[in-house]
Structure 1
């Protein structure tokens, strides 16, 4: 019994140290990436918070399994929680898709704050300067001074032409 306690404490320490090192690694990696690509600080915060959430959840699961929660019971609990979240996310699908789109825009899209863009859509003429990109919306200001708010998922679904940087 004493051996189990010492072993679990050591494993928990390793998990916590790995958690701290992972956070530092992700923080510096995202910071370097965002500086090299000229990405705004607020967009970096959204990505960091999403990354931290994933790391904390994974660490919590590992700690729970280390301290004796049986995998069968834990998987039943997690599947129940995921079922409830799945129903909630299905009801709010646009929120989840916008958040995911924001992460994709952060890492893979050349559009930056200050760029003049045209979102190609047959029904609307959305042309303007990118003012801000948040976790859910892209804010544009047109040449006429109008402010346009477009969900990030819509930005990924439509073609974008960068007119001038």
Structure 2
């Protein structure tokens, strides 16, 4: 055992430093995501989802750095990764919208000016929708219309189509005049 530690002393030290740094970075990112969630008054489920995304990205980064530290042969690693990505690419080719909705969900978390409970109007000429945001999920949003219908709207469309927030007073005035 002592032989192992003396032979791989540099690699073990670099691994320890890498893990410590990534734990600190993880803590900072988690704290920042929670702060954005609190300041923007986001649902805790949404904040937890973003934290899971952060964990996945940092885990992949940790594996990449550790493979560099331990001297993995990049020719072999490149062959394995290219094969894995080819299989994943073929499997997800028909499901590209899933990836775009996940990406849109992350973007909406940090930049979407609306939150659960807001009344919005989606400015889509083919399918105009007005209602209250009931929930924001990974792939879609739930919007409850005045008629009680629950509409599931994909996240990636929120980045492509105009959305306006309707003030509660102006909506009440409009319904009173009808």
- TM above 0.5, yes or no, is yes
- Aligned pair partner of 1:142 in 136, 140, 145: 145
Task: Name whichever structure is richer in strand by fraction.
Answer: 1
The count of corresponding residues between Structure 1 and Structure 2 is 165
Partner Cα separation in structure 2 for residue 83 and residue 14 of structure 1: 33
- Aligned pair partner of 1:37 in 35, 40, 46: 40
Counterpart in 1 of 2:91? 88
1:63-116 C-alpha deviation (Å, 9 max, x unpaired):
123223112221222222122222222221111010001011111120111110
Runs of 4+ in 1 over 6 A off after TM superposition: none
The DSSP-based 3-state class of the residue aligned with 1:39 is: coil
Counterpart in 1 of 2:176? none
Unaligned runs of 5+ in 1: none
* 1:107 and 2:110 are equivalent in the alignment: yes
* 1:64 and 2:67 are equivalent in the alignment: yes
Unaligned runs of 5+ in 2: 169-178
The DSSP-based 3-state class of the residue aligned with 2:135 is: strand
Partner Cα separation in structure 1 for residue 7 and residue 92 of structure 2: 40
Counterpart in 1 of 2:29? 26
Compute the TM-score of the two structures, normalised by the length of structure 2: 0.87
Per the TM alignment, residue 140 of structure 1 is displaced from its structure 2 partner at its CA by: 0.5
Counterpart in 1 of 2:54? 51
Counterpart in 2 of 1:131? 134
Counterpart in 2 of 1:76? 79
Compute the TM-score of the two structures, normalised by the length of structure 1: 0.93
1:27-79 C-alpha deviation (Å, 9 max, x unpaired):
10001111111111111111111111010011012112322311222122222
Partner Cα separation in structure 2 for residue 151 and residue 90 of structure 1: 18
Counterpart in 1 of 2:164? 161
Per the TM alignment, residue 124 of structure 1 is displaced from its structure 2 partner at its CA by: 1.4
